[in-house]
């Protein structure tokens, strides 16, 4: 991985709204030689100059108004997407990259707008547990037919007419318990409810790094 990471910078969203990351994921980014630049979608005006952007999970629904008010940051991320910067967003990151987000009072706020759709909170868990996704198309993490493994835990839904990038499968004792469509891919941006542990998805991280070297 070092050959792809050498001299490259990854911007990682980190503040009160986005702070759920596997510690090992961040450690691995450092270990392979990436320059990690943290930024705040709540408080900063633009994304740091970078070759990649990583937006993790958190509680954007609590800070929806503040995220909306920071229009400069939203435009900065949208422009990064339009310019082809590889962007990977998980769970709360997916909610942020959609068109709109309804907060806990059901008030809707504009978000980044890479993916058409509205996120809203529900009164119960929508998905919980380990699962994997089979890529329907090529994305920044996986080529068509490849598998990405992870964990879903969320109380929100993303209502969208966008085509999904993965067939998600949940199994127990080698028996399929459920199957659904998930994840959204556009240009070099992927947003999904799946939280991935990079050590379980080394090939996915490699694919992501390669996209930034193209």
The C-alpha R_g of the chain, in whole angstroms, comes to: 16
Is 91 a residue of the active site?
yes
Rounded alpha-carbon distances, angstroms, from residue 35 to 2, 81, 87, 153, 161: 12, 20, 16, 29, 36
Q: Where are the alpha helices (DSSP H) in 43-188?
A: 64-69, 71-82, 92-97
State the catalytic residue, choosing from 91, 131, 164, 204.
Answer: 91
DSSP 71-87: HHHHHHHHHHHHTT--E
What residues act catalytically?
A: 91
């Amino acid at each position: 991985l070092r050959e792809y990471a050498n001299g490259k910078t990854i911007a990682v969203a980190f503040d009160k709204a986005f702070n759920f990351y596997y510690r090992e994921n961040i450690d691995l980014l450092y270990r392979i030689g990436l320059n990690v630049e943290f930024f705040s979608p709540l408080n900063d005006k633009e994304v740091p100059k970078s070759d990649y952007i990583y937006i993790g999970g958190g509680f954007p629904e609590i800070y929806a108004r503040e995220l909306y008010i920071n229009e400069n940051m939203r435009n900065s991320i949208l422009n990064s997407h339009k310019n082809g910067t590889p962007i990977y967003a998980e769970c709360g990151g997916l909610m942020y990259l959609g068109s709109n987000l309804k907060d806990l009072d059901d008030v809707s706020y504009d978000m980044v707008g890479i993916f058409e759709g509205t996120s809203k909170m529900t009164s119960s868990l929508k998905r919980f547990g380990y699962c994997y996704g089979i890529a329907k198309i090529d994305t920044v993490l996986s080529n068509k037919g490849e598998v990405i493994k992870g964990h879903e835990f969320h109380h929100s839904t993303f209502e969208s007419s966008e085509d999904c990038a993965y067939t998600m499968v949940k199994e127990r004792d080698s028996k399929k318990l459920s199957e659904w469509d998930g994840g959204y891919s556009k240009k070099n941006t992927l947003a999904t409810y799946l939280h991935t542990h990079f050590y379980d998805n080394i090939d996915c991280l490699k694919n992501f790094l390669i996209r930034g070297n193209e």
